[in-house]
Amino acid sequence: MRDEAVKAKTGKNWNQWFAILDKVGAKKMTHQEIVKFLNSQHDVGPWWQQMVTVTYEQARGLREKHEKPGGFQISVSRTVNVPLANLYKAVANEKSRSSWLPEAGLVVRKATAHKSMRVTWKDGKTSLDINFLPKGDAKSQVVVQHSKLPDAKAAAKMKTFWGKALDQLRKSLGG
């Protein structure tokens, strides 16, 4: 996020935030401690507390890109020219899914028709949150969020994997 946008919303640019956090010893603080400091000492809302904290952690080498407290997480989405029901069926139905995602061993933990799915990936350790969004009568979007990945290399690999997989999904649905 650009300096101008941060300053417009928080009253400070990135260098000013980093100086404030360096001065209070944020390099040695946990994520939650930094957020608590921002909450108690600076007039920024919860979203900006998280944004400033994560950006600071990344800038100071305390957190890598895509890193979350429970591991690494990536997100990939595609918009397809089919109604939401068709898109949902192509992902939720195992036979339909196998035409574009030849991975076996997925465990659907929870599914809300035409809205979302919670899935344990084939490794039994990482998780998928799959969300479905209408974009009109004959257009819809799927968003795959893959969480609990062990490291940045695995996150980059899965980001590429899901990009290709969702391109295959789009192709299989004719658009």
Structural domains of the chain, ranges and CATH numbers in brackets: 3-59 (no CATH), 68-172 (3.30.530.20)
Alpha-carbon span 30 to 32, nearest angstrom: 5
Answer yes or no: are the C-beta atoms of 162 and 81 closer than 8 Å: no
Distance CA 35, CA 59 (A): 16
Tens-digit pLDDT string for the chain (175 aa): 788 989 999 999 999 999 999 999 999 998 889 999 999 999 889 989 989 998 998 888 877 776 777 788 899 999 999 999 999 999 999 999 999 998 888 999 999 999 999 999 999 999 999 999 999 889 999 999 999 999 889 999 999 999 999 999 999 998 6
Using only the alpha carbons of the chain, give its radius of gyration. 20
Q: What predicted TM-score, i.e. pTM, was given to this entire model?
A: 0.68
Give CA 91 to chain center in angstroms: 19
Q: Helices marked H in 24-151 — which ranges?
A: 31-41, 46-59, 84-92, 94-98
What's CA 58's distance to the chain center, in Å? 16
